[in-house]
Amino acid sequence: MYGRSNGATELKEGIETITTLQDENILVTGACGTIGSHLVRELLTHDPATIRAFDNNEAELFSLKKEFGDDPRTRFLLGDIRDQKRLELAIEDIDTVFHAAALKHVELNEYNPFETIQTNVQGTQNLIQASLNESVTSFIAVSTDKASNPTSVMGATKLLSERLVIAANTYKGDRETEFSCVRFGNVLGSSGSVIPIFLDQIQDGGPVTVTDPEMTRFIMPIKEAVTHVLNTHEVMSGGEIFVLKMPSIRIGTLAEAMIEEYAPKADHYPEAVDIDIIGARPGERTHEKLISTDECKQARELNNMFVILPQIDFTGYKEPDYSDVNRIKSEYTSEEEDQLSKDEIIDLLELNKSISAYSSVAGSQMD
């Protein structure tokens, strides 16, 4: 039997109902980030016993507490995943861990590599150890397309983070803890996302700064990202990396579409808003990968996602029956996917989040 629900069959057919979180005590690290905060919101709809929101950002944690503080199921914990002793207190009596804490800005991480290692690698190991000590039931780590065949410090540390999580299944002893990862690309409107930056530049009349118009990126709405994480929890057996199928965009097309759509709303003529090509930043690659060539032999294609099965053996793992599931023959990259048109891009932005909700968020181009 694969997973908690109906295993491989349910993965192939899609997941209709989340049932494994009811009455659970849940810890969300990085709870003030885009993924973490939406996870908290969504988890509260699945009748957990408690949710502990853990973050080192005092101001944002205070804001999150104002939003949910009246809910008796919520707790707001100030701390850092680099601090093992703080994690041990935070994880006491926890059943499920959603690990979304990370340093993620590509360029900043290139200039501060050891800080990135301390958070993304050592911090993840601290959380794994605390989870083993507490014998939690399940552990889901949120990863990124940059972990696949990485070219940046951030990507390399996220790859190591994934490997730490998967390997934890090999030395958990007789504990029933299941460790898995979920990997996806850029989330629309997140901190560091290109969209609020482009919008601010358009509102100022330009120029809109584009690193390379031929760059492509995987994108997804926040709701789909969070749903993917929860679906992963529903079916995980431990050792897998779950990869959501995602649309891809060309950065130049995104800039052009946003200028054409939103410049008139800011009282600017679209043709008067220039695009400046500024060149790629340190660590940045032209196209992203969600599955590399080396990972293909372990990957299986399902209806709405891929599953990368573990490469290492560990006691109790039984590969699910994917005899009728396609094996992956080539890497999954943003370059090879069909690119969204200008109209499709605008429809996606408007459908998933009102453009007026995008504020001047500090960050960089889409990483």
Q: What is the pLDDT of residues 19-29, one digit of tens each?
A: 679 999 999 99
**What angle separates helix 251-262 from helix 342-352, to the nearest 10 degrees?**
70
How many folded domains does the chain comprise?
A: 1
Per-residue model confidence (pLDDT) at position 1: 23
**Residue bearing tokens 């959603």:** 98
Evaluate whether residue 199 is within a structural domain.
no
pLDDT (0 to 100) of residue 317: 66
Residue 256 domain flag: no
Question: Considering the domain boundaries, does residue 366 fall inside one?
Answer: no
Confidence category of residue 316, pLDDT binned at 50, 70, 90 = low
The yes-or-no verdict on residue 318 having pLDDT over 80 is no
For the chain, give the mean pLDDT: 87
Range of the domain at 241: 7-185+221-245+289-333
Which of the four pLDDT bands, split at 50, 70 and 90, describes residue 313? confident
Q: Which residue is listed with tokens 């810890």?
A: 27
344 lies in some domain: no
- Which stretches does DSSP call E strand in the chain? 25-29, 50-55, 74-78, 96-99, 138-144, 178-184, 186-187, 208-210, 216-220, 241-244, 248-250, 275-277, 289-291, 299-301, 305-308, 326-327, 332-333
Q: Note whether residue 89 is domain-resident.
A: yes
| Cα atoms in the Cβ-side hemisphere of radius 13 Å centred on 80 | 9
Which pLDDT belongs to residue 190? 73
Contacts of 252 (CB under 8 A, 6+ apart): 210, 212, 213, 214, 215, 275
For residue 230, what is the domain's CATH number?
Answer: 3.40.50.720
User: Which residues are annotated as catalytic?
Assistant: 146
The answer to whether residue 34 is domain-embedded is yes
Q: How far apart are CA 27 and CA 55, in angstroms?
A: 11
Query: Whole-model pTM?
Result: 0.88
Place of tokens 């023959």: 329
Q: Is the pLDDT of residue 348 over 60?
A: yes
CA dist 295 and 159 (Å) reads 12
| Residue 238: partners with Cβ closer than 8 Å, 6 or more residues away | 169, 177, 178, 179, 180, 317
Task: Please determine, for residue 285, whether its predicted confidence score (pLDDT) is greater than 50.
Answer: yes
Which SS3 state, helix, strand or coil, does residue 154 take?
helix
| Any domain includes 102 | yes
Cα–Cα dist 317/310, whole Å: 9
The pLDDT, as a whole number, for residue 322 is: 60
Domain-embedded: residue 153: yes
pLDDT at 15: 47
Confidence label for 221 from pLDDT (cuts 50, 70 and 90):
confident
Region 113-132 average pLDDT: 98
